[in-house]
Structure 1
Amino acid sequence: MLQGFKDFIMKGNVVDLAVAVIMGGAFAPVITTLVDSIIMPLISGLIGFPSFDQFLAFQVGDGENYVRFGAWLTVIINFLIIAAALYFVVVMPMNKMIEARNKRLGIAPDEEEVEPDVALLTEIRDLLAGGGTPKPGSAADKDPNA
């Protein structure tokens, strides 16, 4: 029983997930500060107010009950701004660095693996469309039971 638990915990995907959650928690303040201290003040300067909280707000019944569609709109816009900041500040530069490193080291981009049955069906489709014969060394020449 304990061995099964140990095997589960030590699987690579569980450890990777744990590291990703911890790194995400540590990185969240970086992106939040970027959005709150740089991007939102710029937006506030351009449109005059930093949030849409009072946009489409109306009172329901007597008292302090308000429906605020603007608060929901603010959260959606904040999400999109955070996603854009994360993409343009972290993901895109990281992809460029990986691409440059791979080019420098002569590592070719991964070619998509095609399953043998898909390759065979593609050849059959192409043969039916073109009326030709299979090329030597194609999937049609290989024994599927080998």
Structure 2
Amino acid sequence: MKGFKDFVMQGNVIDLAVGVVIGSAFTALIGAFVDNLIQPVINVFGGSNVDGLAFTITNESTKVDIGAILSAVIAFLITAAVVYFVFVLPISSARKLDRKRRGLPEEEETTVSEDIVLLTEIRDALTAQRGGTQAGGTTPQV
């Protein structure tokens, strides 16, 4: 039971729960904005047709609603932009500032596993053995 309590009390789990709740509320807000403001504006371009940019191929079950698709794309772009500018950008800036205060390098150096180093050496040796070209006659890509 103690392990479960420690897991739940970790900051990551709480942050995730808060993110899900805020994301749900934000999705409802963006959905209302698009349905009640953007969709009517898009439907204006459909002319005098009551359906806006929608058209029916054979019957009502084969209705293609271009306006709804455009609205969904716009809703996605608005959501992505707000998430980026409100959450991602400030958090990454705060992390960079924190790293700078601690005197750590800006970017963490990535370590390459021994397997990758060995495979790279094998590739280079095979390339050199073939005379500097790969099997297709092209120069090797890095």
Distance across 2 between alignment mates of 1:98 and 1:54 = 41
Q: Percent identity?
A: 34
Amino acid at match of 1:43: I
Partner of 2:61: 67
Amino acid at match of 1:5: F
Partner of 1:129: 127
Change (3 A) 1:46 1:56: closer
Matches of residues 2-41 of structure 1 in structure 2 within 5 Å?
2-41=1-40
Distance across 2 between alignment mates of 1:128 and 1:67 = 60
The alignment partner of 1:88 has SS state of: helix
What stretches of structure 2 of length at least 5 have no aligned partner?
130-142
1:17-56 residue CA offsets vs partner (Å, 9 max, x unmatched): 2122111023223322432344323322333469669632
Change (3 A) 1:112 1:84: farther
RMSD: 4.0
Distance across 2 between alignment mates of 1:56 and 1:4 = 57
Distance across 2 between alignment mates of 1:75 and 1:41 = 10
What stretches of structure 1 of length at least 5 have no aligned partner?
60-65, 132-146
Partner of 2:134: none
Q: Displaced runs of 4+ in structure 1, greater than 6 A?
A: 98-101
Contact kept in structure 2, 1:43 and 1:50, CA below 8 Å:
no
Distance across 1 between alignment mates of 2:50 and 2:20 = 30
Q: What's the TM-score once normalised by structure 1's chain length?
A: 0.54
Partner of 2:116: 118
Distance across 2 between alignment mates of 1:111 and 1:86 = 32
